[in-house]
């Protein structure tokens, strides 16, 4: 009788290397339950090899479909505005996939999964707000997206929350759809160069 096969585990760094994503992405996937893992007594994550293999199999299956190489992520907690963005994006017929997230945490998970070239974000959202999500996105050194903010907050209210990097354009709600279309088109053109 043969001995049962022992489960093998990866560290977060090993899993990130194997899947081809950042360490932060692996950590976000583990915290959100996208990727199963457990923690050692010392607080280190261990990810079962079969979970990594399943993630890789899913990536290979997705690569078999002819999806656009570029994507845009919109992070907005109001369902009506998410639907408006979805409708307008479909009307614009851009060669990019649109991903919609309802809060900053969901936005970070989707960023890790889809690596969009552009993130359009609200600031005031339940759970993780746009300020925290943007702070984390701007810490990314490789593959950092262009970020645009659309908010109902005034400049003084934004400053009271600690402000935003000067490189991030801020637009007032209601969303300036013509301006956003121009930004999306320009960002996607630059990404193809």
pLDDT at 67: 47
Task: Give pLDDT tens digits for 176-188.
Answer: 899 999 999 998 8
Q: Are 170 and 94 part of one and the same domain?
A: yes
Q: What is the pLDDT of residue 70?
A: 87
Higher pLDDT, 38 or 73: 73
Give the pLDDT confidence score for residue 66 in this predicted structure: 45
Domain holding 41, by residue range, is: 9-63
pLDDT value, residue 140: 79
Is residue 74 over pLDDT 70? Answer: yes
Q: Are 98 and 85 in contact (CB under 8 A)?
A: yes
Q: Report the pLDDT value the prediction gives residue 99, as an integer from 0 to 100.
A: 95
The CATH number of the domain holding residue 43 is 1.10.1660.10
Same-domain status, 168 and 82? yes
CATH code of residue 88? 3.40.50.2300
Q: What is the pLDDT of residue 38?
A: 83
Does 76 share its domain with 133?
A: yes
What average pLDDT score do residues 66-82 get? 84
pLDDT digits (tens, 9 = 90+) for 103-143: 999 999 999 888 899 999 999 999 999 999 999 998 876 77
Q: What is the model's pLDDT at position 83?
A: 93
Same domain, 102 and 184: yes
Q: What's the total number of domains in the chain? A: 2
- Residue tagged 């994006």 (tokens): 89
User: Has this prediction a pTM greater than 0.75?
Assistant: no
What mean pLDDT, rounded, does the chain reach?
Answer: 85
Measured between alpha carbons, how far is 45 from 80 in angstroms, rounded to an integer? 38
68 pLDDT higher than 80: no
Domain-located, residue 1: no
């Amino acid at each position: 009788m043969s001995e049962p096969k022992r489960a093998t585990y990866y560290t977060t760094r090993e899993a990130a290397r194997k899947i081809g994503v950042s360490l932060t992405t692996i950590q976000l996937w583990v915290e959100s339950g996208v990727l199963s893992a457990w923690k050692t007594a010392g607080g280190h994550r261990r990810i079962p090899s079969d979970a990594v293999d399943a993630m890789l199999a899913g990536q290979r299956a997705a690569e078999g479909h002819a999806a656009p190489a570029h994507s845009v992520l919109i992070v907005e907690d109001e369902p009506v505005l998410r639907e408006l963005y979805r409708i307008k994006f479909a009307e614009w017929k851009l060669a990019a996939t649109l991903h919609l997230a309802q809060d900053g945490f969901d936005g970070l998970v989707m960023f890790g999964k889809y690596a969009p070239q552009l993130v359009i974000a609200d600031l005031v959202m339940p759970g993780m707000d746009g300020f925290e999500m943007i702070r984390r996105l701007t810490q990314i050194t490789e593959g950092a997206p262009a970020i645009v903010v659309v908010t109902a907050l005034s400049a003084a209210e934004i400053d009271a929350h600690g402000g935003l990097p000067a490189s991030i354009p801020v637009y007032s709600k209601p969303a300036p759809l013509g301006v956003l279309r121009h930004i999306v088109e320009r960002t996607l053109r630059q990404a193809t160069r």
